A and B are shown apart, each in its own frame.
Chain A
Amino acid sequence: GNSVTQMEGPVTLSEEAFLTINCTYTATGYPSLFWYVQYPGEGLQLLLKATKADDKGSNKGFEATYRKETTSFHLEKGSVQVSDSAVYFCALSKSGGGADGLTFGKGTHLIIQP
């Protein structure tokens, strides 16, 4: 079956540091890949997505590239801010029919210190 593996953290960084959160997946076919963010006490918000190999998703300074050869979708940001503190979830969706829910990783708790 499909699965997503990501570092769970917590990951603690200083403001303006470079961020990488690793995400690898196992899936048949060609899934779509997503990063969602969950701020304290809130629901999940889509951060970025990529639907085919070598696609780069980007939003709010965050980027992730769909790497089929390494089955990865690592999240990066060049300079993090305190407001980026949240839990980040990597997820995949089966391609084609789409009649399926998202498969999520366990989530990575990111803490940015001033």
Chain B
Amino acid sequence: DSGVTQTPKHLITATGQRVTLRCSPRSGDLSVYWYQQSLDQGLQFLIQYYNGEERAKGNILERFSAQQFPDLHSELNLSSLELGDSALYFCASSPRLKGAADTQYFGPGTRLTVL
């Protein structure tokens, strides 16, 4: 158990809908990262937040957005869903912003299925 929790575990929805994925980082970790894992694209970094502020963006679509709240939990919002958005979405957390050697601890993931 990494200490990172994600809800829900599974989500099934229809095209065009909007969903929210939730992540609680390990106690004391200030950085939260979101990743998408799909069969065709592999594991891709989406976005990072540090202590409530957006710090880095990866291959995140404009239909997707995220935020980190004062209690440090984070939400990933996916809207106007398409079939291709079906994937495993992972959240990870690490203690600090700086220091590339910081280990990222991954949650169990949310499996999103868009029908």
By size class, the interface of chain A is 20 to 34
- Residues facing B in A26-49 (CB within 8 A) are 31-32, 34, 36, 42-46, 49
Chain B residues at the A interface, C-beta cutoff of 8 Å: 2, 4, 33, 35, 42-48, 50, 55-56, 58, 90, 92, 96-109
Residue on B nearest A51 in the bound complex, by CB: B101
Query: How many Cβ-Cβ contacts under 8 Å join chain A to chain B?
Result: 74
Q: CB-CB < 8 A to A97: which residues of B?
A: 97-98, 100
Query: Which of A32, A36, A45, A106 is close to B100, meaning CB atoms less than 8 Å apart?
Result: A32
Q: How far is B23's CA from A75's CA once the two chains are assembled, in angstroms?
A: 31
Minimal beta-carbon separation of B6 from chain A (angstroms): 8
Whether B98 contacts A98 by the Cβ 8 Å rule is yes
Residue on A nearest B45 in the bound complex, by CB: A101
Asked, given contacts A44-B106, A102-B104, whether A107 binds B96 with beta carbons under 8 Å apart, the answer is no
Q: CB-CB < 8 A to B44: which residues of A?
A: 104
- Residues facing B in A8-65 (CB within 8 A) are 31-32, 34, 36, 42-46, 49, 51
Whether B42 contacts A107 by the Cβ 8 Å rule is yes
Question: What are 29 A-B interface contacts by the 8 Å CB criterion?
Answer: A32-B100, A36-B106, A42-B108, A43-B4, A43-B107, A43-B108, A43-B109, A44-B92, A49-B101, A49-B103, A93-B100, A94-B100, A95-B100, A97-B100, A98-B98, A98-B99, A98-B100, A99-B50, A101-B33, A101-B35, A101-B46, A101-B47, A101-B48, A101-B58, A102-B33, A102-B35, A102-B45, A104-B43, A106-B42
